[in-house]
Amino acid sequence: MARTRAIVITGNGTNCETEAAHACRLGGFDEAVIAHIAEIISGEITLDDFHFLNLTGGFLDGDDLGSAKAQANRLKHAVVAGTGERLVAQFSRFIAAGKLILGVCNGFQLMVKMGMLPGFDGDHLTQSVTLTHNDCGRFQDRWSYLKVDPDSPSIYTRGIDKGIYLPVRHGEGKFVCDSEGTLERIRRERLAPLCYSDGEYTTRAMEFPLNPNGSQEAIAGLCDPTGRIMGLMPHPEAFVHYTQHPRWTRESLPVEGDGLILFRNAADYVKKHLL
């Protein structure tokens, strides 16, 4: 029987790879491999062998050129040893094969700076949005309410009733588009599956601290038109069990944390569509 396989890329400053791999396994993947980016550039590991790619949080290259910018340049121009193939061709082939990509925090920053999102018209290499410094001028480490758009094409947020509660921890999480036209198309195609919200998940939160960074239209996550490629600033892998909740000793909570459904939806999709 075919096995569902997830890969979590690490190296150059990521720091959430173990949690992401654990979330993949809890969500239903048979295998979750943590691979250093050097193993992929060297040709030891290829993305072609996996169904679900995770780009995790952290501080890639110390954010010295801006969050994830150095890694974005590296991945777009690196050549896989012994093949002559640019690494970005593996990413393009992965997407063309109908597979799944989830970027969280620094991984989301990487995706927008590579141009992978919003992926208009199948173009995943042209940047049109970014994530920049929080309006408050400092790093934010807090929990956020996230309202779900039920009409978004995202496969990750399917089955979520109103919203989810997840932690954020970032200094450059403000979502900004390059033009009103880009923002309007995101609105029209419902490509923002998650936005910062109030505690009842009824309205978009534009004011700090409910909106921790000042994102346009309170956008906390973005997907491409297929719904298979998504990035978000909050950390779903950091809330997959009730003991990770900040009030777990004072409230009666379900065993499963709110973030687990994203990984379960990914595993279910792979089983139904890619095996």
Tokens 């956020």, located at residue: 144
The rounded distance, in Å, linking the Cα atoms of 173 and 67 is 9
Secondary structure of residue 212 in the 3-state scheme = coil
- Annotated active-site residue in 17, 19, 172, 237: 237
The DSSP code for 61 is G
Judge whether 105 counts as a catalytic residue: yes
The rounded distance, in Å, linking the Cα atoms of 105 and 184 is 23
Secondary structure of residue 94 in the 3-state scheme = helix
- Annotated active-site residue in 51, 170, 235, 245: 235
Residue 35 host element (H or E): strand 31-36
- Annotated active-site residue in 16, 19, 51, 105: 105
Judge whether 184 counts as a catalytic residue: no
Number of residues written out for the chain: 275
The set of residues, in sequence order, having a beta carbon less than 8 Å from that of 61 and lying 6+ positions away, is 12, 13, 68, 69, 70, 71
CB neighbours of residue 195 within 10 Å:
24
CB neighbours of residue 179 within 10 Å:
10
Tokens 């534009």, located at residue: 206
The set of residues, in sequence order, having a beta carbon less than 8 Å from that of 184 and lying 6+ positions away, is none
φ, ψ dihedrals at 186, nearest 5°: -60, -45
Judge whether 237 counts as a catalytic residue: yes
* Residues 152 and 189 sit within 8 Å (Cβ to Cβ): no
Give the residue from 42, 55, 45 showing the smallest Cα distance to 13.
Answer: 55
- Amino acid in position 257: G
Catalytic residue numbers read: 105, 235, 237
